[in-house]
Amino acid sequence: MVEHSGATERVNRGFLFELNSNAQRKQNVTIKVPRNAIPDSTSIEVSAVGDLMGSIVGNLQQLIRLPTGCGEQTMVNFVPNLMVLRYLGRLRQLTPDVEMTATKNLAVGYQRLLYYRHENGAFSAFGLSIKQSSTWLTAYVARSLKQATPYIQVDEHVLQTALAYLASVQSGNGGYEENGDIFEQFDDGGISLTAFVTLAMLENVEAHAEYRNNINKALDFIVRGLDTSSNLHAMAIGTYVLSRANHNAKAAFLQRLDSMATNADGRKWWNKTAPATEQQSPWYNTTRSVNIEISAYAALTLLENNLVGDALPVLNWLMDQRNVFGGFVASQDTVVGLQALLMFAERFSSQGNNVQIGFHYGEGAETILNVNSENSLALQSVELPSNIKNVSVSATGRGLALAQVSYRYNTNVTSAWPRFVLDPTVNRNSHADYLHLSACASFVSVPGDAERSNMAVMEVYLPSGFVVDTDTLPTLESSERIKKVETQQRDTKVIIYFDYLDRREVCPTLHAYKTVKVTKHRPVPVVMYDYYDNARRARQFYRAPKSNICDLCEHANCGDFCEKAEKRESRRPDDYTAIAGRNSANNQATIAMLLMAIAILLQLHC
């Protein structure tokens, strides 16, 4: 596979076809590749599957494109495996291979989660390196581990101490307090946090009835808060919890939630309003993880109340937000979004499927994929010509099917409308075999929005042939705001996690060495983004230290010219300052001579 330079942009369009009779449905997709895309980097793929779980089973380790290096993000690899076991088990379609893989993933994930556990039974995003425990993450783990007990052995003491910690941080008014780092800010008076913790309590209440009073107090807090709140996230998750608890106020809040939705083209979703100064930002007009999460909770609420027909337009919108692997943008929206889609799929068996998905493009060309009960879990995919501009997707037959049109391309253009100041600088002591990179960043606050980001992530790609000096990374982890540093792609990509960024600049520094001889390096990106709000991002490019063709060959093969060049380039990094000083002195002498010549010419002219 050819790796193109620049940064890869991915676009996925998904369509849920629910055919009650031998009807036909049709959708059109425009392939929007910008003119400045790197030549020959475009690829287009179409796919179809008869069961929503089909696109998930084969991609359990890569449902999202973002890194998963903290406790909460670890759950995005844990929970979908749990969903696979529960869903396929209920439908009696769980094969031994899938069961073994998913169960093994759960067991490994459980052991990883214990790394983030504190002595008081609570959990935190980066384990014992953070002193404060996280109420939110503890609730998340307690809920998920309880759901996993039918499949793996979970220490009851781990569950009991987690629930006890949650009960200890409940206020007298019924709300829950967050004492740890808040990586995602909701600004809703604690409604979302209280609702999230209550979901964990509801999951465990049958085995731990002693917490029923905590649940009732929390439900009262949620109702009081929603009475005066217009916060979309609070309204969605709060109404879902009230529905799960069968609270008598659920109908009134469901009606209010429905009135806050956006409807268009047979789809329905909830859209968090962008700050006035950001209305023209292209990132606010694309999929935002917060909108996926809100809409998924709304869909769960509708399904919990058996309003399947009302949920279908929401699920259609959610299908169009998924990535090519079946996940969404970040960790929480992926988990909640998949939960909503699978809750819907359980109502529609794929046993009677017989759907023909047609992809039409170019001058009469077409690709037909047949989906039936025999292959409903098999994801069928076909690559299309990379130069087409439009794809028409049609579905005929009877049953349920998912169709996708996915395309990607590379670009070396900095991202538009940046919400971070990002400045990668190759320091002067770098040379052909050594890279010393400083990547300074700060958050750009705008009127009507927060003054700091949520948890922020920096991804640094290294030039071809370079690998990071991993021995220097522990020092980087001790820097201000940095919580964790990890590498991917054989140490050629560095991921730096910040608890948050504000207007104060931080400048992590990386050291890398060339291990493979490469010349004519192309620009490589540094990407910065808010993990929980993908509309906040920035991308800049930098170039590797200059090298030439002589760096690729040995002296015996390259002749006298390259041998002399090698001697010139072999100076130690400390010599570069002296070289620059000598060059500066030479330049000053040249300028002085020119001034003297001009003065003599003027005298002769006079």
Q: Tell me: the pLDDT tens digits for 441-476?
A: 999 988 878 889 988 999 999 999 999 999 999 999
Angstrom distances, CA of residue 307 to CA of 135, 235, 336: 32, 18, 18
Of the chain, the percentage scoring pLDDT greater than 70 comes to 84
Q: Give me Rg for the CA atoms of the chain.
A: 28
Q: For residue 256, what are its two tokens?
A: 């209010």
Determine which helix (DSSP H) or strand (DSSP E) holds 15, and give its type and residue range.
strand 7-30
- Full-prediction pTM beyond 0.85? no
At 578 the pLDDT is: 33
For residue 350, what pLDDT band results from cuts at 50, 70 and 90? low
At 223 the pLDDT is: 98
Are 544 and 439 in contact by the 8 Å Cβ rule? The answer is no
Is the model's pLDDT at 581 over the cut of 70? no
242, exposed or middle or buried, with CB in 10 Å at 0-12, 13-18, 19+? buried
Strand, helix or coil for residue 603: helix
Strand partners, 435: 512
Cite the beta strand spans of 113-231 per DSSP E: none
Give the separation between CA 58 and CA 45, rounded to whole angstroms: 17
Are 297 and 261 in contact by the 8 Å Cβ rule? The answer is no
Topology adopted by domain 1-51+354-413? Jelly Rolls (2.60.120)
Domain ranges of the chain: 1-51+354-413, 63-353, 433-550
Is the model's pLDDT at 360 over the cut of 90? yes
Give the separation between CA 364 and CA 72, rounded to whole angstroms: 48
Give the separation between CA 349 and CA 355, rounded to whole angstroms: 14
DSSP string, 513-578: EE-S---SPPPEEEEEEETTEEEEEEEEEE-PPP--GGGGS-HHHHHHHHHHHHHHHTS-TTHHHH
At 413 the pLDDT is: 80
What's domain 433-550's superfamily in CATH? Alpha-macroglobulin, receptor-binding domain (2.60.40.690)
Are 142 and 166 in contact by the 8 Å Cβ rule? The answer is yes
**In 304-338, which positions are buried (b, 16+ CB within 10 angstroms) versus exposed (e)?**
bbeeeebbbbbbbbbbbbbbbbbbbbbbbbbbbbb
260, exposed or middle or buried, with CB in 10 Å at 0-12, 13-18, 19+? middle
Q: What angle do CA 221, 224, 229 make, to 5 degrees?
A: 115
- Average pLDDT of every residue of the chain: 86
At 246 the pLDDT is: 97
Among 63, 56, 44, CA closest to 393: 44
Is the model's pLDDT at 282 over the cut of 80? no
84, exposed or middle or buried, with CB in 10 Å at 0-12, 13-18, 19+? buried
Are 93 and 99 in contact by the 8 Å Cβ rule? The answer is no
Helix, strand, coil percentages (3-state) for the chain, rounded to 5, are 40, 25, 35
pLDDT in tens, 39-63: 999 999 999 998 887 878 767 666 6
Question: Amino acid letter at 243?
Answer: S
Topology adopted by domain 63-353? Glycosyltransferase (1.50.10)
Are 344 and 308 in contact by the 8 Å Cβ rule? The answer is yes
